[in-house]
Amino acid sequence: MPKSSAEIGQTDHIGRTLRELRRSRRVTIQQLADGLSRSTGYVSQLERGMSQPTLKDLYAACAIFGVPMSWFVDQEKKQPEAEREKDFIVRAADRRFMLHRGARTELLTPQLDSDVEFMMSTFEPGLETEPKNVPTAGAEYGYILKGRLELWVDEEKFDLAEGDSYRFNRSSTYRSRNPSQTERTVIIWAGVYK
């Protein structure tokens, strides 16, 4: 299936951000490739917007550069027009977002914060995330706004439904899945870094 223009724009933004982070930290393409367990060619394609990174790659890059996932959300999106709102309010139509293989994740805060990520993720039917292990102190908190979610934390499985919530340490190995083949799952979550 061809990529939408939003996905292409997001891939370009992620690539530019990855290159800026790598250069600002004086990390070579080879060093980043080693950290991601990928080839230098793949990293070069990511930086040029020719390939879309996996969530696992993005989480690894976050660990390498010491930034939260929200760092990769496109900041070029316009702020609300009212100047007095820009530091306090995010209007639904003005949310910055990231698209990735069946998931849309929206930033719910007006500014990026290195200590807290506050997001809303929508999982398409059947979407399963890759296992993640973020070698950083902190926790993730979530609330199932709509649908159901299967959550594995260190290989222990939990079945969650609308209204349920969760918390786990970010250093745990975790993954999740929308078990429905017809309905989307919507999760409000916060990543808190210490």
Task: Give the count of beta carbons closer than 10 Å to the beta carbon of residue 12.
Answer: 14
Q: Alpha-carbon dihedral of residues 128, 131, 137, 143, nearest 10 degrees?
A: 20
> For residue 68, what pLDDT is reported?
72
Which tokens in the block code for residue 37? 């367990």
Averaged pLDDT, groups of 10, the chain, 194 residues long: 54 85 84 94 92 87 78 58 75 79 86 81 95 81 98 97 96 94 97 81
Instruction: Report the C-alpha gap between 71 and 76 in whole angstroms.
Output: 12
Q: Residue type at 177?
A: R
> For residue 80, what pLDDT is reported?
44
User: What would the DSSP string read from start to end of 65-116?
Assistant: HT--GGGGS-TTSPPPSSGGGTTT---GGG--EEEETTEEEEE-SSS--SSE
> For residue 125, what pLDDT is reported?
97
Which CATH code for domain 5-72? 1.10.260.40
Question: pTM of this prediction?
Answer: 0.65
Which CATH code for domain 83-193? 2.60.120.10
78 neighbors 53 (Cβ within 8 angstroms): no
> For residue 1, what pLDDT is reported?
44
Which tokens in the block code for residue 40? 């230098």
Pairing of strands 132-133, 116-123: unpaired
**What angle do helix axes 40-47 and 29-36 make, rounded to 10 degrees?**
110
Instruction: Report the C-alpha gap between 155 and 117 in whole angstroms.
Output: 24
Secondary element (H or E) of residue 143: strand 138-146
- Domain residue limits, the chain: 5-72, 83-193
